[in-house]
Structure 1
């Protein structure tokens, strides 16, 4: 079995780019391959410095969701630091129809298919100057995101026995996908990642493919850091930043499910898992 995800982040209310993305998928005959869409936050461009959600923010947020829904695939998203504060509520906008396949997965667990679940958590932590972490370059939103991650994310992960796709807006600190140092040129360098997410991944990633003693977080998919798109890793956990759709970037991730009996001898030794998911492909695109 294969499962393919369209990875999108940091749209910032660029509706035309969503429409162009759908056309791109259709023209290249890729739309039929997509099973799910994952959006890693910042759907709109609200003011997170003085966070007071306006009617304009709410209207634009609904427009982005509706335009994404029009791609025609199940849609899962977490809110980012530019999204309305109401997008962090359980009652957040889920789509225009009663049978909508849109879900806000902030602080939630979603079982996608047998053996594979998704855990979501939105918001951003403070970005700091690399050699002076007390110097905040831009603030967290919500302000207590780091403490919320510490309090709530481990509990969510503890309740999942499947292999996990962790979807966050902010990525882990001190990895390539959250490092703003080379492009655009920054002096000083900025680290936009979360220490809590890094600590969680370091403690819970399997240390080797056959290690089943840890919570198996296969992927951390995030956004937030526009210019650090790409692939990184912590242990066996792959970290993916698809880039900003505002700047025409997105990614397609394909997973393949392998039966335990078909794996190489010893690869899953000591594991209680019946199936294992592996990455069959990861492609980065620009419209």
Structure 2
């Protein structure tokens, strides 16, 4: 069994790039293979330091509608530049009608998308700080208590997923990974920025079952995020892959395929992961089959 995802993030109201992406998928005959679209935040350019304006809400709806035109179910989370109404518990999903596919706001929610596979979402951002002096905040968290809320709510959200592997979608990534460390000039003195979350990193790391007493029903197969425009690509925390597709504002996106395999068969072919996988409580697991990164000028 296989599921393929179109991954976009940090669109920042570039509707022209959404149209270019749709045209690219059609021209390359790739749209037919896409099962779902995942958008990991910052769809528009709302000023997160001031109250949301009606213009931001309208632009957000336009982006959602444009992504729905691809004809695939859309799962999205809000970033720090999206309307604050996206974080409210009483929010409504945008632009859902019978003529268009589902558009689901996953902030603080989960959904099963295939047998044995669920998607869990959490939006917002944490403080961006100087890597060498973390007490120096470059940009503030939005909402300001995101780390506290993440620590309180995400474990419960994950525990509510029964017997499924998990795609974890966040706007920010885990700290100390290549996809969040904004160091544009590593060979020269620079003001490198750490944009990732320590809480998220610790949470992913703590869910790696390494003994029978720690046997877990939950396996975070991959954490998909955005927020950091420069360090797109793949990284990892333990055995969990971390993926940042890059900013669609700059034409970047990714296509990800996950495949479900028999656990024992997979361990036979991957000696290094046998110790890690042997205590999983299920017979089948979801892993990355293919991850492709693109830039569409």
* Further displaced range: 271-280 or 91-100: 91-100
The 2-side partners of 1:95 and 1:162 are apart by 29
Spell out the pairing of 1:13-32 with structure 2 (5 A cutoff): 13-32=13-32
Deviations 1:110-151 (A, max 9, x none): 111110011100000000011211110000001111110011
Using the size of structure 1 for normalisation, the TM-score is 0.93
* Post-superposition offset of 1:215: 3.0
Answer yes or no: is the 8 Å Cα contact 1:86–1:92 preserved in 2.
no
In the alignment, is residue 250 of structure 1 matched against residue 249 of structure 2?
Answer: no
Q: Which residue of 2 aligns with 1:109?
A: 110
Distance 2:251 2:185 in 1: 16
Residue 291 (structure 2) pairs with residue 282 (structure 1): yes
RMSD (Å) for aligned C-alpha atoms: 2.0
1:200 match: secondary structure: helix
Which one is further off, 70-79 or 90-99? 90-99
SS in 1 for 2:285: strand
Report if aligned partners of 2:209, 2:279 keep a CA contact under 8 Å in 1: no
Q: Is the 8 A contact 2:209 2:280 kept in 1?
A: no
User: Residues 228-243 of structure 1 correspond to what in structure 2 (within 5 A)?
Assistant: 228-243=231-246
1:196 to 179, 194, 199: 199
Shift of 1:183: 5.1
5+ unaligned residues in a row in structure 2: which ranges?
A: none
SS of 1:79 mapped into structure 2: coil
Change (3 A) 1:263 1:236: closer
Q: Deviations over 1:221-258 (max 9, x none)?
A: 00000001000001000000000000000000001112
CA contact (8 A) 2:4 2:36 kept: yes
Residue in 2 that maps onto 1:53: 52
User: Aligned with 2:230: secondary structure?
Assistant: helix
Aligned counterparts of 1:271 and 1:214: Cα–Cα separation in 2: 7
Q: Which residue of 1 aligns with 2:83?
A: 84
Question: In structure 1, what is the equivalent of residue 144 of structure 2?
Answer: 143
Alignment of 1:38 with 2:35, yes or no, is: no
> 1:272 corresponds to which residue?
281
Deviation at 1:188, TM superposition (A): 1.8
The alignment partner of 1:204 has SS state of coil
2:164 to 162, 165, 174: 162
CA contact (8 A) 1:174 1:191 kept: yes
Deviation per CA, 1:78-117, whole angstroms, max 9, x where unpaired?
A: 0000000001124244224246411000000111111001
Residue 260 of structure 1 and its aligned partner are, at CA, apart by 4.5
TM-score by length of 2: 0.90
Alignment coverage as a number of residue pairs: 284
Name the CA shift for 1:226/1:216 in 2 (closer, same or farther; >3 Å): same
- C-alpha separation in 1, matches of 2:136 and 2:92: 33
SS class of match (1:196): helix
Question: Who is 1:171 aligned against?
Answer: 173
